[in-house]
Amino acid sequence: MHQKVASWFKYQMTEARTFKEAAWLRNESIQRFNMQRVDLLKRKEKLFRRKEVSEWGCPPEKLSEAMDSLQDAELAFQYMLPNATQQVNYLEEESNYFST
């Protein structure tokens, strides 16, 4: 009987550790995503205020569309810093994966 109780407690401790690790991974991924997202938005706002489309890093074929968006920040943000935006989108997907 004693051995059954001991193995039950051992199982519970292992299970709790697994849940703690999963919660840590989830929290860490959400925190990384939020930090990167805020940083990216600040960079995009700064670029938008400067109105220098050449610094946005958008592909040459999208340059004229980007120039047409100089009066609309929301639209302009779609053209800015595509590599950094892709990285933030990946972090968002990762945090969503750990959250479900």
Give whole-number Cα distances, 42 to 46, 52, 98, in Å. 6, 16, 26
- Output DSSP code: residue 70: T
Instruction: List pLDDT tens digits, range 53-100.
Output: 999 999 999 999 999 999 999 999 999 999 999 999 999 999 999 887
Q: CB–CB of 53/63 below 8 Å?
A: yes
pLDDT band at 14 (very low <50, low <70, confident <90, very high): confident
Instruction: List pLDDT tens digits, range 17-37.
Output: 888 888 999 999 999 999 999
Q: Rg (Cα) of the chain, in Å, rounded?
A: 22
Q: Which of 47, 51, 44 is closest to 68 using CA atoms?
A: 51
Q: CB–CB of 80/57 below 8 Å?
A: yes
